[in-house]
Amino acid sequence: MIRLLRTLRAEWTKALSLPSIIGALVAAIVVPPALAVASGLSLDPTVAAASSFPIESHGFETAGFGQPLVILLAALVAGTEYSGGQLRTMLLADPRRGRVLAAKLVVVTTLAVFVGLLGTTAAVVLKHATLGEHGLSLSEFTAGMGWNLIGVSINYVLIGLIAALLTLLTRSIVVALAVLVPLVLGVTLSLLGLAPLLKYLPDVAGMQLLTSYPGVGLLDPIPGGIVMATWTVLLGIAGWLAFRARDTGGG
Amino acid sequence: MIEISHLVKRHRARTVVDDVSFTARPGRVTGFLGPNGAGKSSTLRILLGLDRATSGTALVDGVPYRSLDRPLWTVGAMLDGPGANPGRTARSHLTWVAQSNAIPRRRVDEVLDLVGLRDAARTRIGRFSLGMGQRLGIAAALLGDPEVLVLDEPTNGLDPEGIRWIRLFLRTLADEGRTVLVSSHLMAEMEKTADDVVIIAGGRVVAAGSAAEVRGEHDSVEEAFFALTDERHGRPAGGSEGIAP
């Protein structure tokens, strides 16, 4: 256990001492609230009040834009290991590969929770503030909104782990980004009408954890989250098997 | 003390390390010499737990590297440059390496001083020259003040001054009683530094012993190497032209 804590401490220092990772972290926290403010200011309040958009969901609609940044963040945390042969140094420092992998995934999880809680809370609070009297005041926030906040964090953790594991499996940040970012930006969602089975893909399954998308035929938040978590576990097993067996000399 | 015993590594049908055995002792610089592709790096990677052997053993102080709890306190290593992400500063690279093995933070500045990189501590590694990179790799290897040092081609790409610095540095480390195993494809260069020599070619050890023993009646270790490999390839001994096994 103490050995894991040492490796974890090293992983933290690694994550927080690279400008690219810090940049992605800041962007992931700042972009959703900024979009929330922009959308709040551009919304005609009388229309907003009259529309069918549930008032509790204000702010959460920006969570989908945090996703690609969480993917970037996680891919960087995993993928910068392959830059300059750093992984070799890591495995010299801790030759137990399971521990190295576990520490990496703990860092990704923690960062994703942090981004989810901080960025989404800011987005929701700011959105309602910009809506003025048509929004909710802080004291009017509901338990449902709290659950939604947790849902976003779970979604971020799972998509972050998927991105990190995919990066590890392919040893390439670019491949992970090229596969995942178009997915979360709506490619699969737009094909859902043609192929309803696509709702079981990892990016689509957990979508309603972010906010409700009524009428599209998506899985409900909890079953969707379970499907997404299953994907994550399967990728985790594949990642562990590949990482354990691989010779690391060249990389 | 490093003990390599009947080590074999195969990549599919190709045997890159073929029954390699040798020992590197405390207080001595052991030169692990051979042309590029002879199996030096493969042997060292197995020794350091990065690759798995097909068969045989490679032990540090009697145990495999992977079973060491805090390996950097026992073994310091540099393989193929510093192994550092170019986006980080030298100090933050050494800091995370130290933290991973619960090495006190003050050691970071100590090793930066030792290798002469104190002024570059806050410089991003991507802006380092080749020589600075090698020094950073050696600094990381020294963090845990280990009794055993394993350096793969530490003089690669260095200018004469850098090569001289490494040579003197290795001598000092061995004189302090440490086991120093250093590989090179430049035999003439290592001959001035190494107390013991292990020569490998085509995955097999062709000669091992003190530098004087390996040299034998030849003028240099390099001459001895060419003589040995010529015999192995059924060519007349003595000529040194065009040998690249």
Spell out the domain ranges in chain B: 1-74+148-236, 81-145
| The token pair that represents A213 in the structure block | 């998308």
* Statement: residue A249 has pLDDT above 50: no
Residue B235: is its pLDDT beyond 70?
no
Residues of chain A neighbouring B40 (CB-CB closer than 8 A): none
Q: Taking CB atoms and an 8 Å cutoff, what residues of chain B touch A90?
A: 100
In a domain, A213, yes or no: yes
Residue B149's DSSP bridge partners are: B76, B180
Kindly report each contact of residues A139-145 with a partner whose C-beta sits within 8 Å and lies 24 or more positions away, as own/partner.
A142/A56, A144/A56, A145/A56
Distance between CA B38 and CA A132 in Å, rounded? 74
Phi, psi of A35 (to 5 degrees): -65, -35
Contact A18 B88 (CB under 8 A): yes
Supply the pLDDT for residue A251: 38
Nearest to B53, CA basis, from A250, A247, A92 = A247
How much is the pTM? 0.91
User: pLDDT higher for B163 or B47?
Assistant: B47
CB proximity list for A110: less than 8 A, separation 6 or greater? none
Q: Long-range pairs for A229-232 at CB < 8 Å and ≥24 separation?
A: A229/A158, A231/A158, A231/A162, A231/A202, A231/A205, A232/A158, A232/A161, A232/A162, A232/A165, A232/A202
Those residues whose C-beta lies under 8 Å from the C-beta of residue A67, and which sit 6 or more positions away, are A155, A156, A159, A184, A210
- B95 vs A84: CB contact, 8 Å cut-off? no
Give the tokens for residue B6.
């009947």
Residue A251 lies in a domain: no
Look at the alpha carbons of A132, A136, A139, A145 in this order and tell me if their dihedral is positive or negative.
negative
Residue B85's CB is within 10 A of a number of other CB atoms, namely 25
Instruction: Supply the pLDDT for residue A45.
Output: 66
pLDDT of B241 over the 60 cut: no
pLDDT attached to residue B50: 94
Domain that holds residue A77: 2-245
Query: Is a pLDDT exceeding 50 seen at residue B244?
Result: no
pLDDT tens per residue across span A85-111: 999 999 999 999 999 999 999 999 999
Q: Is residue A250, in this structure, part of any structural domain at all?
A: no
Architecture category of domain B1-74+148-236 in CATH = 3-Layer(aba) Sandwich (3.40)
A250 confidence band (pLDDT: 50, 70, 90):
very low
- Give CA–CA dist B156/B41, Å, rounded: 13
Bridge partners of B196, per DSSP, are: B30, B210
Q: What is the dihedral of CA B112, B115, B120, B126, to 10 degrees?
A: -110
Mark yes or no for CB contact B83/A84 under 8 Å: yes
pLDDT computed for residue B134 by the predictor: 92
Select the residue from B50, B59, B72, B92 to test the A interface by mutation, using most A Cβ atoms within 10 A.
B50
Instruction: Mutation target for B interface from A80, A89, A97, A104: give the one with most B CBs within 10 A.
Output: A89
Could you count the other beta carbons within 10 Å of the beta carbon of residue A101? 20
Contact B52, B216 (CB under 8 A): no
Q: How many domains does chain A have?
A: 1
Are A247 and B51 within 8 A, CB to CB? yes
For residues A53 and B72, which has the higher predicted lDDT (pLDDT)? Answer: B72
H or E element, residue B181: strand B179-184
Chain-wide mean pLDDT for chain B? 91
